[in-house]
Structure 1
């Protein structure tokens, strides 16, 4: 169950990170509130995962999911570049996340 909480926490991290672009420096109420709620949910879910996963592994995967998700959304919806070198670096992050999952028992 810890891996489920960790992936869900990572998804909420993506939500709040993506929302930062729409909050306009926290000057827009609803996006700002959505960011705060998503941040709280993300950290609570991370804490649930940490009850049985090592801190370093869980944190690395949580941030990895955030990096991958926000990068994908930036490329898909915000016109950010998707150059070969950038995608290669993202692939290294994916490899690291997969590696950590494979070597970490629950």
Structure 2
């Protein structure tokens, strides 16, 4: 169960980053609330997950999910490059996260 909580913590981190990007374009109360809520929920879920998952592993997975999510959102919705080298490095992050799960 903690692994699912950790996954959702990473997804809410991505939501916070999307809100941060939107706020950089135009400051608006809606995106500010989404930013605070996204990061607040993300950190709360991370804290819950760390009760059963070691700190180093939980933090690495959390940042990995956030990194992968942020890059994919950027490529899909914000026109960031989709070249093969970026996809290769995303796959390395995924492999690392799976590896940490397997040894934990």
8 Å CA contact 1:26, 1:32 repeated in 2: no
Q: Point out where structure 1 has 5 or more consecutive residues left out of the alignment.
A: none
2:46 alignment counterpart:
46
8 Å CA contact 1:23, 1:32 repeated in 2: yes
Shift of 1:65: 0.3
Q: Point out where structure 2 has 5 or more consecutive residues left out of the alignment.
A: none
When the two structures are superposed, what TM-score results if normalisation uses the length of structure 2? Answer: 0.95
When the two structures are superposed, what TM-score results if normalisation uses the length of structure 1? Answer: 0.93
Please list the CA deviations of residues 50-103 of structure 1 after superposition, one character each: whole Å capped at 9, or x if unmatched: 001000000000000001111111100000001111111111101100100111
Instruction: Kindly report structure 1 stretches of 4+ aligned residues shifted beyond 3 Å.
Output: none
Aligned residues: 104
